[in-house]
């Protein structure tokens, strides 16, 4: 039956949350239909499938919707048990992965957004906070990679790689827009080598939107925020 095991992902090209789910699906080799949403004109299906948040991403599997990117990824890992396993088997390791995923999602993402949308003294303060948080992550990753970051392949990409990739994969473009370096081999050696390895994967390259499109969007977000804060 055609409907059996039908998977649809509602997303937008620029949503890092949708990107996470896309990565997870592709890593597991799960065939899916992708629906690009226009957030200014959300489809009736999106509103039906995610009435609480009305946001992307939403995964629909056999007609049943799941929202919230982290919930979706755990669902994918529990439903399609083939490799790669996105979360480790051991409960304590799972707890550590969930902890750091949450850190990247809540702390880093918010800090990055604040830097993106601020200027002058406010931006200076926001950058300091972002750099501090990146140091916290760098420290935390020493626990995961005591011998330096391993080589990354489609077989050992997990949820942490997905989370860091969706947020900081385009770090060079983000640095271009905010005008300051945030990741580098001197200050954040583990994160730097980790991201470099992840960004080299053909799958990650394939899913990255065109660079000029991303830069244009980041600039737009920044200019918009600066305009409204000075209005």
| 107 CB neighbour count, 10 Å cutoff | 17
Q: Which helix (H) or strand (E) holds 35?
A: strand 33-36
Residues of 153-190 as b/e, b for ≥16 C-beta within 10 angstroms?
Answer: eeeebbbbbbbbbbbbbbbebbeebbeeebbeeeebeb
- Residues near another protein (CB under 8 A): 51-52, 61, 64, 66-68, 70-72, 74-75, 78-79, 91-92, 94-95, 98-99, 102-103, 136, 140
Q: Shortest gap between Cβ of 96 and another protein (angstroms)?
A: 8
Q: Shortest gap between Cβ of 95 and another protein (angstroms)?
A: 4
Q: Which residue, 71 or 216, has its beta carbon nearer to another protein?
A: 71
Q: Find out whether 49 and 40 touch, Cβ atoms under 8 Å.
A: no
Q: Where are the alpha helices (DSSP H) in 29-180?
A: 44-49, 69-79, 91-102, 109-117, 120-144, 159-168, 171-178
Q: Shortest gap between Cβ of 56 and another protein (angstroms)?
A: 15
Q: Which residue, 141 or 201, has its beta carbon nearer to another protein?
A: 141
Q: Find out whether 76 and 32 touch, Cβ atoms under 8 Å.
A: no
Q: Shortest gap between Cβ of 204 and another protein (angstroms)?
A: 25
Q: Which residue, 13 or 75, has its beta carbon nearer to another protein?
A: 75
Residue 152 Rama label (left phi>0; alpha psi -120 to 50; beta)? beta
Q: Which residue, 134 or 178, has its beta carbon nearer to another protein?
A: 134
Q: Shortest gap between Cβ of 20 and another protein (angstroms)?
A: 15
Q: Shortest gap between Cβ of 222 and another protein (angstroms)?
A: 25
Q: Find out whether 198 and 204 touch, Cβ atoms under 8 Å.
A: yes
Task: Please choose, from the candidates 199, 137, 142, the residue with its C-alpha nearest in 3D space to the C-alpha of residue 166.
Answer: 199
Q: Which residue, 60 or 127, has its beta carbon nearer to another protein?
A: 60
Q: Find out whether 47 and 37 touch, Cβ atoms under 8 Å.
A: no
Q: Which residue, 136 or 216, has its beta carbon nearer to another protein?
A: 136
């Amino acid at each position: 039956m055609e409907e059996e095991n039908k998977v649809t992902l509602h997303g937008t090209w620029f949503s890092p949350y949708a990107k996470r789910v896309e990565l997870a699906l592709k890593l597991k080799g799960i065939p899916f239909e992708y629906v690009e949403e226009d957030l200014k004109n959300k489809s009736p299906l999106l509103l039906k499938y995610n009435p609480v948040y009305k946001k992307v991403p939403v995964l629909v599997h056999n007609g049943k919707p799941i929202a919230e990117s982290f919930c979706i990824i755990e669902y994918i890992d529990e439903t399609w048990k083939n490799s790669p396993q996105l979360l480790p088997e051991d409960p304590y390791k799972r707890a550590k992965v969930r902890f750091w995923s949450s850190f990247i999602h809540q702390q880093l993402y918010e800090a990055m957004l604040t830097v993106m949308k601020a200027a002058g003294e406010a931006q200076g303060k926001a950058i300091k906070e972002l750099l501090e948080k990146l140091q916290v992550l760098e420290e935390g990753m020493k626990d995961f990679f005591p011998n330096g970051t391993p080589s990354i392949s489609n077989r050992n990409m997990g949820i942490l790689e997905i989370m860091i990739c969706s947020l900081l994969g385009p770090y060079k473009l983000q640095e271009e827009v905010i005008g300051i370096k945030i990741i580098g081999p001197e200050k954040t050696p583990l994160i730097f080598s980790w991201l470099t390895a992840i960004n080299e994967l053909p799958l990650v390259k394939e899913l990255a939107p065109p660079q000029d499109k991303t830069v244009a969007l980041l600039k737009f977000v920044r200019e918009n925020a600066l305009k409204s804060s000075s209005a």
